[in-house]
Amino acid sequence: MSRRLGVVARGGHCGSRFALAVAFAGAAAVGALALAATPGDAAAKEKKPLTGPPPVVAPAYPKPLPQLGRDEALPREYGDLVRRFTNQGPADTLGDGLFAVAEAAFYAGAFDEATKRYQEFAQQFTRNLAMNDALERILLIKEMRDFEDEPLRAFARAEGLRRAGKADSAAAFLRAGVARYPGARIRYHMRYALAEIASERGDHAAAIEQALAVADTTSRSRLAPYALKLAGDETLAMGGPPEQASGYYRALLERYPDSPLATDVRARILALRKRSQL
């Protein structure tokens, strides 16, 4: 009996040790979990390195263009966008200073110097918007030098006055040049300039008279197609017969079918036909 009690006593002592060990192990596990769940460690795990790449932001694209009916216009913001994209680029105006120097020499009658500057401009700044004007000036100076340059000098002076906004003074120079040098090579350019000045001030009859002098078949002027179109436009502007305006337009197409004005003139003739059928 005593042996059995001793064995039970020893067994009970061992059981208490085992229970204490389990209790200590449980407490240690709970402590570890508590430490792992502290706010400092969680923040440390979530904290991102300072050297990481910045977040990528998607570009903000404009809203898609709405479907428009035939009689609807584009929204205003789209019109503003188009105007911003159609602004002149740097190459369009690069060289304007040199062109201004050439123009000043031309207006002053220094034609050799002007030709030199125009050629320099045309060679260096081929994308400038004044390129065609420079080439036209070079050709004009080359072809129109007669009577010791006096008619050309009068025309150049008139061009300078027109550029300065003095149209009446320019017209006086041009009329004097035509009267004094009726056979000058540049006489048709003078008359066409007079037609433009008359058109600008609303004198349609005078504009048509000067334009028809340039458009005459004997003139052989490269301004003739422009003069025919101007005569047609001025006829309509003064309320003249549409048939007469169409006649000027048709003459342009018949005599100068490859003119850059042909497309616009055909559209005008078609519009006049539709109007007459209403």
* 108 and 151 housed in the same domain: no
* 116 and 131 housed in the same domain: yes
Give the per-residue pLDDT at 277: 82
Show the domain range for 131: 89-143
Q: For 219-277, what is each residue's pLDDT tens digit?
A: 889 999 999 999 999 999 999 999 999 999 999 999 999 999 999 999 999 999 998 88
- Please compute, for residue 201, the number of CA atoms within 13 A of its CA located in the half-sphere on the CB side: 15
Is 272 a domain residue? yes
Is 206 a domain residue? yes
* 120 and 149 housed in the same domain: no
Is 131 a domain residue? yes
Look at residues 127, 143, 159 and tell me which one is the last residue of a structural domain.
143
Look at residues 143, 163, 182 and tell me which one is the last residue of a structural domain.
143
Q: Distance between CA 103 and CA 114 in Å, rounded?
A: 7
* 154 and 103 housed in the same domain: no
* 173 and 191 housed in the same domain: yes
Check which CATH number belongs to the domain holding 177 and give it: 1.25.40.10
Reference 235, options 272, 270, 260; nearest CA is 272
* 137 and 260 housed in the same domain: no
* 159 and 188 housed in the same domain: yes
* 115 and 209 housed in the same domain: no
Is 118 a domain residue? yes
* 162 and 179 housed in the same domain: yes
> Considering its fold, how many domains does the chain have in total?
2
Q: What is the pTM of this model?
A: 0.67
Is 18 a domain residue? no
* 119 and 185 housed in the same domain: no
Q: For 93-119, what is each residue's pLDDT tens digit?
A: 889 999 999 999 999 999 999 999 999
Average pLDDT score, the chain: 80
Residue 107 in contact with residue 160, Cβ under 8 Å? yes
